[in-house]
Structure 1
Amino acid sequence: MGIVETWMREKPIRTFLAQLSTRRAAAGAAALLASSSAAAASADGEPGDRSIPQLSSIANSVVSRCSRVLALATETLQQNFEVDYPDSCKESNTYAKEFLEYCCHKALHEVTTRPDHLADKNLRRLMFDMMLAWEHPGAVVEDELPENHSALRTTVDIEDDDEGSIFYANSTRLAVQVNDKKTVGLGAFARIAPSCPIIADLVTVHNLFDALTCSSGGRLHFFVFDKYIKSLDKVFRSVKGILQSPLASSFHLDAGECILAMDGDRPIHPVFQHIGISAWPGRLILTTHALYFQSIKVGYGDKIVKYDLATDSDQVIKRDFTGPLGVRLFDKAVMYKSSTLTEPIYFDFPELGGPSRRDYWLAIAREVLQVNKFIRKFNLENVQRAEALSKAILGILRYSAVKEAFHISPSHFKTTLTFSLAEKLPKGDMVLKALYDNYFQLLDTSLSHLVTESPGDNRLQNHSLPFSLYALSRMGFILLKRKDEAQSEISFCAVCFGVTKSLEAALEESICYSERIDAARATIDQVKVEGVDANLALMQELLFPFIQVVKLTYSLTKWEDPLKSFLFLAFTLYVIQRGFIAYMLPSFFLAFAVVMLWHKYNGREQLLGVLEVRTPPSKNPVEQILTLQDAISKLEETLQSVNIVLLKFRAVLFAAVPKTTEMVAVAFLAASAFLIFVPWRHLLLIAVLEVYTREMPLRKQNTEKFRRRIREWWARIPAAPVQMIKPNESKKKR
C-alpha cells in the first residue's frame, strides 16, 4: 500500500515535469528557427522588422513576412520598389497599396515554387492577411480605423510558435492571427488571389469569389478560404494519383496529355454508354485532348474508344434525356455528337439525387472542347498551346475543388471555367482576343532580353506573376518536353501586370453587359404568362394599333362607305404615281424614332405604365386538352392543304395534265413578258386597282364568277401519287 500511495503522489509531478520539458524543447526549436530566419532577413546588415511609416500595422506585418520569404530586408524591398516604380512614389495616396502589392506578388511567386505549398496552412494565413492588408494598407489614426481593421491586433499563437514558420519570425509582434470577425472583400481577393494561378484566374476570379461568399453576404471568411485551399490540395493529389496509377499507362496518352477526371470505376456509380437502343457500363475518362470510354463487356474484354475533342469536326456536347431501350425518361445524360460519327453517343450518369454528377461532367467536357477551339482559332503551338491547356486544367481543378468543398456548381455567367465563361459572356470573343493579344502573344516572343534590359525596364521582372504552365509544372504536371521547359523558364518568371490592362477592360465591359442581361431576364420572367388564351390576349393587346389599322383598311376595301373608299383609293394611286411609295418605309421608321425620342426627353420622370390585359375566362384541364386537340387538328388540316397544293403543282409541272400544263405555261410566259416590259410603278397601280376594286358594286358579280371558275379549274387538277415507305428498323447487336 505504501508503494502505491507513493507512486500516486509522484505520478502527477512526473507528468507535469515531462510536459514542461517537452514544451521547453519545442519553444527552443522555434526560437532557433525564428532567429535563423531573422538572420537571413537581415543579410544586408539591416534589421528585417523595421516598420514603414506609410503603412498600417497589418501592412507592416505582411511586408515583414514577405521580406523573410525573400531573404531581403524591408528597406531593400522599399528601395527596389522606388527604383522600379518611380512614378508610384510620387502618389502618396496609392504608394502604400502599390508597395504592398509589389511585396505580396514577389513573396507569393517565391513561396509557390514548392510543390506542397497548398498544404502549408501558414501560407494560407499569409495570403489572407495580404488581402486584409490590401483593404487597409495606409497608416491611419486609431480613431479612424474601420471596424474590420480595429480587430487586427497581434496575439500569440502557440501552434504557429511551435512550428517555427518562416512567415512568423516574431509571432508576438508580427503575426496577425485570423478570426471569424475579419473578412475580405472582392477587390482584395481579385488583386491578391490571381498572383497564384493555381488558386484563382484573372478571368474567373469574380465568379470564384461569388461562389465562396454566396452564403456570407459578399465577404470572405478565413475558414471558407482555408477550406477551399484544402479542397484544392486534395483535388490536386487525387489527379496526380490517377496520373501515376497503372491505369494511365493503359490508355496510351499522347505527349502532354493529362487525365483530368475519371468516373465509373466503382460498381455503385456506373457510367453507361448509349448508342441507339443498346447500352453497356464502363469507365469514362476525360483528358486534355479527348474523352475515353472503356466498356466492360462480358466475353469481349475491355475495349477503349476515343472521342477526340481536339479535332475540328463540328462537335457538340450538351445535356440530354436517356433511358432503357432508347426511351427518353431521365435527364441525366450527356450527348456527344460529331461529324465523324453516324449517330450521337450518350453517356448516362445514373444517381438517386439530382443531375449534379452529369452537370459536372458536362461542364468540364465543354471546357476541354472550348480550350481546343481556342487553340485552333489562334493557331497556338508549343508553349502557347501548353499554356492554354494549363489554364483549362487549373480551371477544371478549381471547379472540382469548389464543388467538393461547398457542393456548388455555378452555371451560366457564374462559371469558374475560363474558356466556358468567355464563350457564354456577352462580347466573350473580345475577352478571348484580349487574352490572346496580351497574354499568349507574350509567350510567342523571346523574353530573355528582359533580364538584360536597362533598369527602366526592370518592372517586367520585379512585378512578376507566374504563368499557368510554369505553376502547373511545379506541381508535377508535365505538358512540355524537358528541353522546352528549360528554354522557357525565364519567360514564365517575367510578365508585366501592365499587359493585363486591356484584358481587364474587356472583362469589365463584358461583365457589365452580363449584368444588364441578367436584369433584363428578370423582367422577362416576371411578364411570362401561362396558357394559350392568356398569351393570345396579351398579343392582341400589344398589337392593338396595328390590328385596328388592318381592320380599317379591310373595311375600306369592302366599299361599305363608297366616299371614304374612293378617297382612300385616289390617295393611294396618287402616292404610287408620284413615286412617294419609296418614302413610305423611311417615313415609318422616322415616325417611330420621333415617338421614341419624345418619350425619352419628355417622360423621363414617369415610370412605364403597366399594360392591363383582360384575362380570358379560365378553363379546366379537360377544356384545355380539348382546345389543344382542336388546335392540333387545325394544324394537321393546314399541313394537308399545303401538301395538296404542292402535289398538284408537281402534277402540272411534269405534265400529268397536258392541257392544264399548257395553259399554265402560257400564263407564265405572258406574266414574265409583262413584268419585263411594264414599269414597276404601273404594275403596282394595276395590282392596287385589281385588289381594291374587287368588291365594288360594278365588279362584285364578275369577281365572284371569276373566283368560282378558278376553284372549279383547280378542283379538276389531280394530285401527284405518293407512297409512304417505312424505314428498315434493324436492332443493333450489343
Structure 2
Amino acid sequence: MSSKTRNMLEGLVKDSSLKWLLGKRSSFDEEIEEMGRSPSAGANWIPELSPLANVVVRRCSKILGISSRDLHESFKQDAPESLKHPSRFARNFLEYCCFRALALSVQVVGHLSDKKFRRLTFNMMVAWEFPAAASQSLLSVDDDATVSLEAFSRIAQAVPIIADVIICENLFDVLTSSAGSRLQFSVYDKYLNGLERAIKKMKNHSESSLLSNIRSKGEKILEVDGTVTTQPVLEHVGISTWPGRLILTDHALYFEALRVVSYDKPKQYDLSEDLKQVVKPELTGPWGTRLFDKAVSYKSISLSEPVVMEFPELKGHTRRDYWLAIIREVLYTHRYINKFKITGVAREEALSKAVLCVLRAQTIQELGFTNPACFENLLLFNLCDQLPGGDLILETLAKMSNSRELDRTNRTEDGGTSYTMSASDVVSQLGSVFGTTSPRSRTGERSSLMVGEVAVGEMSPLERVVKESRKNYEKVVMAQETVHGVKVDGIDTNMAVMKELLLPVMEVGNWFLSLAYWDDPFKSFVFCIISTFIICRGWIGYVMAAGFLFFAVFMVLTRCFGREKGEMGLMVVAPPPMSTMEQLLAVQNAISQLEQLIQDGNIVLLKFRALLLSLFPQASEKFAVAMVIMAVSMAFVPCKYLFLLVFLEAFTRYSPVRRASTERLMRRLREWWFSIPAAPVVIEREKEEDKKRK
C-alpha cells in the first residue's frame, strides 16, 4: 500500500469516526472503515477514483465476485483507448463496474425490494457525478445527497424496470416535480417501493382464478378496473349501457359485463391486429347526452359501431386519461411490431417494454406524482407517437433490436457472452407474475461494453436520436407558447388582427385592381407591355424564381440588420369593446352571411348541373359550343399563347378602347346566367323509426 493511499484511508476513517461520535454515521462511513481495516485495502483502492466511487466499485466487485484491482485490469484490457483517456477514465471505469454489477444484480428475483440494491443504485448515481479523485468531500451521501438528470439517466437506464432511454428524462421530471431539478433518495426509494407494489398487484391479477379464462390465452394481464362497486366501468354500445369489469392485456382489451352474482363472458377488442383501430377520449352522459369527459371510445373495422368505456369519478378525468394512455400504449406497440415486421425474441422485447412502461405508469398514478397530461409522456410508444422524429426513434429501436438478436445468435454459436440486460429478461425475471420461463443468463461481452441501449462512456444510436428528437420537441413547445400568447378574445379584436395581417396582401391586390381597371392608363399600359414581353419570351418561370429569391434575401437582410424582436411585434388598434349582446348579434350576422354564401354556392352548382343535364337546352347548347372551342384551343394552340390571350383579355377589358364593349358583354353574360334554371332538389327527412334505431 502506498503512503498516499494509506494516509487518505486513515483520514477518511478518522472523519468517519468523528461523524459516528456526532451521531451522523452512514453506510458509506462503515464501508470506508472496513476498507481501512482490510489488509488488501491498498491493493483494491483505485487512485484515480474519488472515495465514494471507490466504495461503489468495491460493492460492485463483491457482487461480481472479483477484486476491484481485477476489474481495473479488465477494463484496461477490454475498453478502447478513447474510453481510457485520463480526463474520462474515472467516469468510464465507474460506469463499466456499475453496468456489470447491475446486469448481475437484476437477475435476482425481488431485487427491487432489497434496500441495499436501492441504496447502491442511488449511490452509483451520486458517484457518477463525482467520479474523479479530486472529488473527496461527499461523506454524507445517505442523508442529503441528490442526483442530477444526467446521473439518473446513465444509471437508471441500465435497469430496464426503473427507466428506459426514451422516457427517462420525463420520468426524472415527474419524480423531481416537487423538489426542484435534483432527485432525492427519499423520492427515489418511494418510487422503487411503488414499482414493487405494482409488480405484486400485477401478480395478483395473473393468479386470480376469476381471470383464468383470459390468462389461458397466454396473454399478460396488465391492468384490471371495475371490480369495486363504487368505481364501476360502464360500457356503452348504441343506447345500451352495462356496468362491468375492464381488463387490459398485452394483446387486447376485454370487458366482462356484471350480472347478478357473476361476470358475463368477456368481449374481446383486439389491439394486436391491423383493424384500423381508433382509441380516443369521448364525452358521455345520461340518455345519450354529451356532458362528461370521462370515457374512451374504441372503433375498428371489425365493429359495426364504436364502443365507449366510461370511467365515472367525482372530480376530473384522471382515471380515464390513465386508461386511455395504457390502451394506446398496447395498440401503438403492436403497430410498431407490424410496421417493422418484428418477430421472435425482438417481438417479445417490444411487448416487454410496453409491460414495463405500464408498470411505471401504475406506480406514478398510485403515488400521485403526476397530473393526467403526464401519463402519455411516461409510455414509450405513446411518446414516440407525439415527439417530432418519433418514427426515427422507433426505426432506430427496431434496427438495434434486430442487430442485438443477430449478435446474440452469433455469440451463442461462438460460445461468447454479453453484459446486456433487456426488457424481456426483466419480464422473464418476474417469473411467477406472468408464468414465463426463467431468465436467460447473459454475463459479459467484452467488446461492446453495453447494457441494453446504454453504452459505457458514449451515447448509443438510440440515445442520440432521442436527444435530437427532444431538441426538436423543445422548439415545437416554444413555438406553441408563442401561439398561445398571441391568441386574443373577441370576434371584433380577432377581425382587427386579421385585417392588419392581411393589409400588405390587400394593398398588393388593390394595386393590381387599379391596373386592371386602368385608373392610371400610362401605368396600366406599361404593365401590359412588360407582361406581354415576359410571356412571349417564356420568362414566367424566371420571374417567379426572382420573386422567391427576393423574399429569401429580404428575410436574410431582416435577420442581419433588422430591428429587435420586441420592435417587430404587430401593432393593432383595438376596436371599441362590445357588449355580450353585441357579440351575439355579430356572431348571428356572421352565421347569416356564411349561410348566404353556402346558398349561393349551391345555386352555382345546381345551375351547372342543369347545364350538364340539358334542363335548359338553349343555354346548354351555347355552353357546349364554348367548351368545344376551349378544347380545340387547348389542343392546337401553344400554352404560352393561350396564357397571353387570357392575360390580355383580363387586363385590357377596362381599357379606354374596350370599356364600353366589355360592359355590354358582361351584361349579356349576367342575363344568360340568370336565365338558367337550377336543377331541382328533393329533401328527404330521416324517418323517426330509423332515428330511434340508431
With normalisation by structure 1, the TM-score equals 0.83
| 1:383 counterpart residue number | 345
Structure 1 residue 203 and structure 2 residue 166: aligned? yes
Is the contact made by 1:277 and 1:732 (CA closer than 8 Å) also made in structure 2? no
**1:145-544 pair list within 5 angstroms:** 145=135, 150-153=137-140, 178-179=142-143, 181-251=144-214, 253-255=216-218, 257-297=219-259, 302-409=264-371, 411=373, 415-447=377-409, 449=411, 452=414, 461=418, 464-476=419-431, 482=437, 489-490=441-442, 496-497=449-450, 501-544=460-503
Please give the per-residue CA displacement for 1:336-360, whole angstroms capped at 9, x wherever unaligned.
1112222222111111111100110
Please give the per-residue CA displacement for 1:319-339, whole angstroms capped at 9, x wherever unaligned.
121212221111111111112
1:83 to 77, 85, 92: 77
Equivalent-residue separation in structure 1 for 2:261 and 2:64 (angstroms): 62
Please give the per-residue CA displacement for 1:61-91, whole angstroms capped at 9, x wherever unaligned.
2122222222322222222222222636742
Could you tell me which amino acid in structure 1 is paired with residue 72 of structure 2? Q
| 2:26 counterpart residue number | none
| 2:122 counterpart residue number | 128
Larger deviation, residues 623-632 vs 317-326? 317-326
Is the contact made by 1:48 and 1:72 (CA closer than 8 Å) also made in structure 2? no
Alpha-carbon distance change, 608 to 414 in structure 1, aligned in 2, over 3 angstroms: farther
Is the contact made by 2:64 and 2:104 (CA closer than 8 Å) also made in structure 1? yes
RMSD after superposition? 3.0
Alpha-carbon distance change, 151 to 48 in structure 1, aligned in 2, over 3 angstroms: closer
Is the contact made by 1:413 and 1:424 (CA closer than 8 Å) also made in structure 2? no
Please give the per-residue CA displacement for 1:25-44, whole angstroms capped at 9, x wherever unaligned.
xxxxxxxxx99xx99xx9xx
Equivalent-residue separation in structure 2 for 1:284 and 1:365 (angstroms): 11
| 1:117 counterpart residue number | 111
Equivalent-residue separation in structure 1 for 2:294 and 2:358 (angstroms): 21
Q: How far 1:183 sits from its partner (Å)?
A: 0.5
Larger deviation, residues 403-412 vs 331-340? 403-412
Q: How far 1:119 sits from its partner (Å)?
A: 1.2
Is the contact made by 2:420 and 2:442 (CA closer than 8 Å) also made in structure 1? no
Equivalent-residue separation in structure 2 for 1:412 and 1:506 (angstroms): 22
Q: How far 1:477 sits from its partner (Å)?
A: 5.7
Could you tell me which amino acid in structure 2 is paired with residue 110 of structure 1? L
Is the contact made by 2:175 and 2:369 (CA closer than 8 Å) also made in structure 1? no
| 1:683 counterpart residue number | 642
Is the contact made by 1:119 and 1:230 (CA closer than 8 Å) also made in structure 2? yes
Structure 1 residue 644 and structure 2 residue 610: aligned? no
Is the contact made by 1:262 and 1:286 (CA closer than 8 Å) also made in structure 2? yes
- Tell me the SS of whatever aligns to 1:615: coil
- Tell me the SS of whatever aligns to 1:97: helix
Equivalent-residue separation in structure 2 for 1:719 and 1:78 (angstroms): 91
Is the contact made by 1:470 and 1:492 (CA closer than 8 Å) also made in structure 2? no
Please give the per-residue CA displacement for 1:649-677, whole angstroms capped at 9, x wherever unaligned.
22221222222222221221122112222
- Tell me the SS of whatever aligns to 1:374: helix
2:668 to 709, 712, 721: 709
1:668 to 602, 621, 627: 627
Q: How far 1:389 sits from its partner (Å)?
A: 0.3
Alpha-carbon distance change, 404 to 493 in structure 1, aligned in 2, over 3 angstroms: farther
Equivalent-residue separation in structure 2 for 1:693 and 1:412 (angstroms): 63
| 1:19 counterpart residue number | none
Q: Which runs of 5 or more residues in structure 2 are unaligned?
A: 1-29, 455-459
- Tell me the SS of whatever aligns to 1:150: coil
Structure 1 residue 635 and structure 2 residue 581: aligned? no
Equivalent-residue separation in structure 1 for 2:369 and 2:233 (angstroms): 21
| 2:59 counterpart residue number | 65
| 1:7 counterpart residue number | none
Is the contact made by 1:322 and 1:332 (CA closer than 8 Å) also made in structure 2? yes
Q: Which runs of 5 or more residues in structure 1 are unaligned?
A: 1-33, 154-176
Alpha-carbon distance change, 714 to 95 in structure 1, aligned in 2, over 3 angstroms: same
State which structure, 1 or 2, has the greater radius of gyration over its C-alpha atoms. 1
Is the contact made by 1:321 and 1:332 (CA closer than 8 Å) also made in structure 2? yes
Q: How far 1:222 sits from its partner (Å)?
A: 0.5
Equivalent-residue separation in structure 1 for 2:80 and 2:329 (angstroms): 42
Alpha-carbon distance change, 554 to 544 in structure 1, aligned in 2, over 3 angstroms: same
Is the contact made by 1:262 and 1:284 (CA closer than 8 Å) also made in structure 2? yes
Equivalent-residue separation in structure 2 for 1:527 and 1:733 (angstroms): 46
| 1:102 counterpart residue number | 96
- Tell me the SS of whatever aligns to 1:273: strand
Equivalent-residue separation in structure 1 for 2:413 and 2:619 (angstroms): 88
Could you tell me which amino acid in structure 2 is paired with residue 207 of structure 1? N
Alpha-carbon distance change, 68 to 355 in structure 1, aligned in 2, over 3 angstroms: same
Equivalent-residue separation in structure 2 for 1:452 and 1:681 (angstroms): 71
Please give the per-residue CA displacement for 1:228-253, whole angstroms capped at 9, x wherever unaligned.
00111111100110000012213254
- Tell me the SS of whatever aligns to 2:265: strand
Is the contact made by 1:413 and 1:421 (CA closer than 8 Å) also made in structure 2? no
Is the contact made by 1:447 and 1:490 (CA closer than 8 Å) also made in structure 2? no
Equivalent-residue separation in structure 2 for 1:132 and 1:299 (angstroms): 55
- Tell me the SS of whatever aligns to 2:235: strand
Could you tell me which amino acid in structure 1 is paired with residue 139 of structure 2? L
Is the contact made by 2:357 and 2:379 (CA closer than 8 Å) also made in structure 1? yes
Alpha-carbon distance change, 408 to 705 in structure 1, aligned in 2, over 3 angstroms: same
Q: How far 1:447 sits from its partner (Å)?
A: 3.5
- Tell me the SS of whatever aligns to 2:66: coil
Equivalent-residue separation in structure 1 for 2:681 and 2:247 (angstroms): 49
Aligned length: 654
Is the contact made by 1:334 and 1:346 (CA closer than 8 Å) also made in structure 2? yes
Equivalent-residue separation in structure 1 for 2:93 and 2:467 (angstroms): 25
- Tell me the SS of whatever aligns to 2:282: strand
Alpha-carbon distance change, 445 to 69 in structure 1, aligned in 2, over 3 angstroms: closer
1:571 to 498, 515, 530: 530
Alpha-carbon distance change, 493 to 476 in structure 1, aligned in 2, over 3 angstroms: farther
Please give the per-residue CA displacement for 1:292-316, whole angstroms capped at 9, x wherever unaligned.
1111256996132111000111111
| 1:157 counterpart residue number | none
Equivalent-residue separation in structure 1 for 2:270 and 2:568 (angstroms): 55
Alpha-carbon distance change, 151 to 53 in structure 1, aligned in 2, over 3 angstroms: closer
Equivalent-residue separation in structure 2 for 1:553 and 1:448 (angstroms): 72
Equivalent-residue separation in structure 2 for 1:91 and 1:139 (angstroms): 15
- Tell me the SS of whatever aligns to 2:234: strand
Could you tell me which amino acid in structure 2 is paired with residue 497 of structure 1? M
- Tell me the SS of whatever aligns to 2:108: coil
Is the contact made by 1:232 and 1:401 (CA closer than 8 Å) also made in structure 2? yes
Q: How far 1:151 sits from its partner (Å)?
A: 4.5
